[in-house]
Amino acid sequence: MSVDDRPAFYAAGPGRLRDWWTLLHPPYTVWHLSYVALGGATASAMHLDRLGKAVAAFFLAMGVGAHALDELNGRPLRTRISSRALVGVAIASIAGAVAIGVANIEIVGLAGVPLIAFGTFIVFAYNLEWYGGRFHSDEWFALAWGAFPALVGHWAVGGALHPRALALMAGCYFLSLAQRRLSTPVRALRRRTSSVAGTITRTDGSTEPIDKATIGRPIEGALRAMSAAVPALAAAAVLARL
């Protein structure tokens, strides 16, 4: 596996449908939706219909809306999707997520209102880098796309907050923090680096040239493995509750 010139390892290349696939960040979207599922699995009772609605809301808000806004803000994925289409899709998908949340307030209680408000705010503040990018940091990424989905999944399914959810939120926070700290340098390598030159000298005197693949391969290998591991753990957790 080498580090090629695509903006991400999951980028599908140019083309209308391929651009939309790339926009969804499939492995990362599934990864973060898994936090919602893990949250639901830690609730006092399992309600698959509620969990499905929570996952659908996060898919719309984060998987579609947030990524459309992110692409609108600087074209990091180099898609040819029009700005008008990105704006329209972002607004429609985020509105859909809010509608799902509002429709379920009667079930989960008024505590869902601040969760909806925060989710709506952070999807714009993070991806459009409001307030000078104050919310576009490693820590805010970990909170917004790690701990928060776990909390919402837990609350949406069970309608209450149990102490075990705090441990899960911490775990999802730090997993997302690790993801961000791995993905940031490899994004820079793919999107803003033309070449890398150097040499690694081993203690036995052997040498190895340094290039983009030398640096990027182990980082992307870890990200690929983590993006498969977290969904598998989430599936096991949900199945254990059935």
Q: Is residue 88 part of a domain?
A: yes
Name every residue whose Cβ is closer than 8 Å to that of residue 120 and which is 6 or more positions away in sequence.
61, 94, 98
Q: How far is CA 129 from CA 12, 70, 132, in A?
A: 26, 9, 6
pTM of the model: 0.94
Q: How far is CA 81 from CA 5, 6, 62, 144, in A?
A: 19, 16, 18, 26
In this prediction, residues 42-49 reach a mean pLDDT of 94
Give dist(CA 61, CA 59) in Å, integer. 6
Q: Is residue 195 part of a domain?
A: yes
Q: Is residue 8 part of a domain?
A: no
Q: Is residue 228 part of a domain?
A: yes
Name every residue whose Cβ is closer than 8 Å to that of residue 114 and which is 6 or more positions away in sequence.
none
DSSP string, 38-105: HHHHTSSS--HHHHHHHHHHHIIIIIIIIHHHHHHTT-TT-----HHHHHHHHHHHHHHHHHHHHHTH
pLDDT in tens, 58-94: 999 999 999 999 999 999 999 999 999 999 999 999 9
Give dist(CA 55, CA 36) in Å, integer. 6
Give dist(CA 154, CA 43) in Å, integer. 5
pLDDT greater than 70 at residue 26: yes
Domain count, the chain: 1
pLDDT in tens, 28-44: 999 999 999 999 999 99
pLDDT at 14: 81
**Kind of pairing between the strands at 199-201 and 207-209:** antiparallel
Mean pLDDT of the chain: 94
Question: Strand, coil or helix: what is 159?
Answer: coil
Contact call for residues 35 and 146 (beta carbons, < 8 A): yes
The whole domain housing 198 covers: 16-241
pLDDT at 108: 79
Q: Is residue 75 part of a domain?
A: yes
SS3 content of the chain, % helix, strand, coil (to 5): 70, 0, 25
CB count within 10 Å of CB 152 equals 26
Where b means 16+ CB within 10 Å and e means fewer, 74-95 reads eeebebebeeeebeebbeebbe
37: CATH: 1.10.600
Q: Is residue 208 part of a domain?
A: yes
CB count within 10 Å of CB 149 equals 28
pLDDT at 1: 43
pLDDT in tens, 184-232: 999 999 999 988 999 999 999 999 999 998 999 999 999 999 999 999 9
Q: Is residue 189 part of a domain?
A: yes
Q: Is residue 3 part of a domain?
A: no
Burial class (CB in 10 A: 0-12, 13-18, 19+), 123: buried
Residue 12, Cα to own-chain centre: how many angstroms? Answer: 18
